[in-house]
Amino acid sequence: MSKTVMLSLKSRHWVVDDQDRIIMGEGRKEILETIEKTGSINKTAKLMKMSYKGVWSKIKVTEQYLGKNIIHANRRDGSRLTSEGRALMEKYRILKARCLEEDNRCFSEIFDD
């Protein structure tokens, strides 16, 4: 007696520079979303169980590559995404959705009997 097993595909996508440094991925998207919700890099670091320096350095690598600030940080007003940060997050969401559609299409083409 054979058991029917349902297979599915899990994939991750990163946007990297020419030296393979991550510019945007799921982790950075989560950082940006959490900063947007909390208004704080420190709260974001705590919620994500990361150090403040770890969160800040990921933001800085992305900003250096883009040559634009994606976060506006101010001691009095807190932290928020810049228009560039929101645009980057939205572009990544669109890219991810399209990639997943194509990944699923390819998977079905190859694995569906």
- The verdict on residue 44 lying in a domain is yes
- The verdict on residue 6 lying in a domain is no
- The verdict on residue 36 lying in a domain is yes
Query: 31 lies in which domain range?
Result: 22-111
pLDDT for res 87 = 97
> Taking a C-beta distance cutoff of 8 angstroms, is the pair 59, 46 a contact?
no
Mean pLDDT of 82-88: 97
pLDDT for res 77 = 87
Q: What is the CATH number of the domain that holds 30?
A: 1.10.10.10
- The verdict on residue 10 lying in a domain is no
Residue 112 in this model has a pLDDT that exceeds 90 = no
Strand partners, 73: 79
- The verdict on residue 61 lying in a domain is yes
Banded model confidence at residue 75, pLDDT cuts 50, 70, 90 = confident
Distance of CA 82 to the CA centre of its chain: 16
Q: Rg of the chain over CA atoms, in angstroms?
A: 18
pLDDT for res 1 = 59
Q: What is the 3-state secondary structure (H, E, C) of 24-85?
A: ECHHHHHHHHHHHHHCCHHHHHHHCCCCHHHHHHHHHHHHHHHCCCCEEEECCCEEEECHHH
- What is the total count of domains within the chain? 1
- The verdict on residue 29 lying in a domain is yes
Return all residues near 39 (Cβ < 8 A) that are at least 6 apart: 78, 79, 80
Digit-coded pLDDT (tens) for 29-71: 999 999 999 999 999 999 999 999 999 999 999 999 999 999 9
Two tokens, residue 8:
């599915």
Banded model confidence at residue 106, pLDDT cuts 50, 70, 90 = very high
pLDDT for res 71 = 97
- The verdict on residue 3 lying in a domain is no
